[in-house]
Amino acid sequence: MTQPGTSQHADDDDARILGSLGRIVGDRHVIADAAGRAGFDTDWRGMFAGRSLAVVAPADAAQLADVVRLCAARRLAIVPQGGNTGLCGGATPDTSGRQIVVTLRRMTGLRHLDPEDAVMICDAGVPLAAAQEHAADAGLLLPIAIASAGSATVGGAIATNAGGVNVLHYGSMRRCVMGVEAVLADGTVWSDLGGLHKDNTGFDLSALLAGSEGTLGIITAAALALAPRPSRHLTFLAGLPDLVRANAALAALRARTGEAITAWEVFSATSADLLHAEGPRLSLPLARPHPWYLLGEVSLFGPGDAREERAFEDLAAVLENAGIDDVTPAASGSQRQALWALREGITEAERAVGPSLKHDIAVRPSRIAALATHLADECRRLDPRLRVNIFGHMGDGNLHVNALPLVRDTALPVALAEAVTRMIHDATHAAGGSFSAEHGVGQLKRAEMRRYKDASALRVMQRIKTALDPDGVFNPGKVLP
Ligand code: 2HG
Ligand code: ZN
Dihedral sign of CA atoms 188, 194, 200, 204 in order = positive
Query: Rounded CA gap, 184 and 396, in Å?
Result: 33
> Whole-prediction pTM value?
0.96
Cβ of residue 402 lying under 6 Å from some atom of ligand 1: yes
163 Cα nearest atom in ligand 1: 6
Query: Rounded CA gap, 58 and 65, in Å?
Result: 9
Strand intervals (E) in 325-382: 326-329, 360-362
Query: Rounded CA gap, 465 and 442, in Å?
Result: 15
Contact, 101 vs 52, CB < 8 A?
yes
Residue 383 in 3-state DSSP?
A: coil
Q: Between the CA of residue 400 and those of 57, 209, 393, 424, 439, what are the distances in Å?
A: 33, 25, 8, 11, 10
The pLDDT tens digits along the chain (481 residues) read 344 446 888 889 999 999 999 999 999 999 999 999 999 999 999 999 999 999 999 999 999 999 999 999 999 999 999 999 999 999 999 999 999 999 999 999 999 999 999 999 999 999 999 999 999 999 999 999 999 999 999 999 999 999 999 999 999 999 999 999 999 999 999 999 999 999 999 999 999 999 999 999 999 999 999 999 999 999 999 999 999 999 999 999 999 998 899 999 999 999 999 999 998 899 999 999 999 999 999 999 988 788 889 999 999 999 999 999 999 999 999 999 999 999 999 999 999 999 999 999 999 999 999 999 999 999 999 999 999 999 999 999 999 999 999 999 999 999 999 999 999 999 999 999 999 999 999 999 999 999 999 999 999 999 999 999 999 999 999 999 9
Contact, 275 vs 282, CB < 8 A?
yes
pLDDT given for residue 6 in this prediction:
62
Cβ of residue 343 lying under 6 Å from some atom of ligand 1: no
Cβ of residue 59 lying under 6 Å from some atom of ligand 1: no
Q: Between the CA of residue 30 and those of 248, 319, 401, what are the distances in Å?
A: 54, 56, 39
Question: Would you identify the CATH topology of the domain 7-103?
Answer: 3.30.43
Contact, 162 vs 438, CB < 8 A?
yes
Cβ of residue 147 lying under 6 Å from some atom of ligand 1: yes
Cβ of residue 358 lying under 6 Å from some atom of ligand 1: yes
- CATH fold match for the domains 110-228 and 232-352: no
Instruction: Report the residue among 346, 358, 396 best suited for mutation to probe ligand 1: largest number of ligand atoms under 8 A from its CB.
Output: 346
Domain spans in the chain, listed from the N-terminal domain onward: 7-103, 110-228, 232-352
CA of 70 to the centre of ligand 2 (A): 37
Spatial CA neighbour of 327 closest among 364, 287, 384, 270: 287
351 Cα nearest atom in ligand 1: 8
CB neighbours of residue 64 within 10 Å: 27
In CATH, the number for domain 232-352 is 3.30.70.2190
pLDDT given for residue 2 in this prediction:
40
Report the top-level CATH class of 110-228: alpha beta
Contact, 299 vs 259, CB < 8 A?
yes
CA of 160 to the centre of ligand 2 (A): 13
CA of 393 to the centre of ligand 2 (A): 6
